[in-house]
Structure 1
């Protein structure tokens, strides 16, 4: 199992904007066979070093993860996220 954790810090950190970004990310659920599981959580503790959203995505293989990255649904969501994100961090690992 491949697990990718993505942290997002948004430019506009208002609760409404965070909720909208979460909704957009969750919109990928069930639309790609290669995406086994998708969880999107929002941070409950604010602060300058805090990130706003944690996305946890699971794939059966690294090839599935690579296919996800270029999938049209992911590409569209990525365009939205690119417009609202200030910074991001990612950790991808085998479990």
Structure 2
């Protein structure tokens, strides 16, 4: 399995913005064939070190992730819609 994790820091972490980003991320479920697992978590600690949202996605292989990374739904329905709300993001990718 290939796991892709993204941590998002929002420009303004209002409840509306958090819910909007979470729902947009969750909308990928069932729409991207290569995506085998999807989890979205909202931070509850809210410390100085915290990011606001975590996305955990699972793929059969790195090659399937590569297809996901450039697929229309991911680019146009997810990234394009959340990008204006995101201050920064960090990723971790691993095989295991």
- TM-score norm. by structure 2 comes to 0.95
Q: Which stretches of structure 1, 4 residues or longer, exceed 4 Å deviation after superposition?
A: none
The corresponding residue for 2:51 is 51
For residue 86 of structure 1, report the CA deviation from its aligned partner.
Answer: 0.4
Q: 2:69 corresponds to which residue?
A: 69
- RMSD across aligned C-alpha pairs, in angstroms? 0.8
Question: How far apart, in 2, do the equivalents of 1:39 and 1:26 lie?
Answer: 8
Task: Provide the aligned length of Structure 1 versus Structure 2.
Answer: 95
Matches within 5 A, 1:29-48: 29-48=29-48
How far apart, in 2, do the equivalents of 1:12 and 1:87 lie?
12
Q: Hey, what's the Cα distance between the residues in 2 that align with 1:55 and 1:37? A: 10
Q: TM-score, normalized by length of structure 1?
A: 0.96
**Could you say which residue in structure 2 is the equivalent of 1:83?**
84
Residue segments in structure 1 that go unaligned for 5+ positions in a row: none
Unpaired runs of 5+ residues, structure 2, are none
Q: By how many angstroms is 1:66 displaced?
A: 0.3
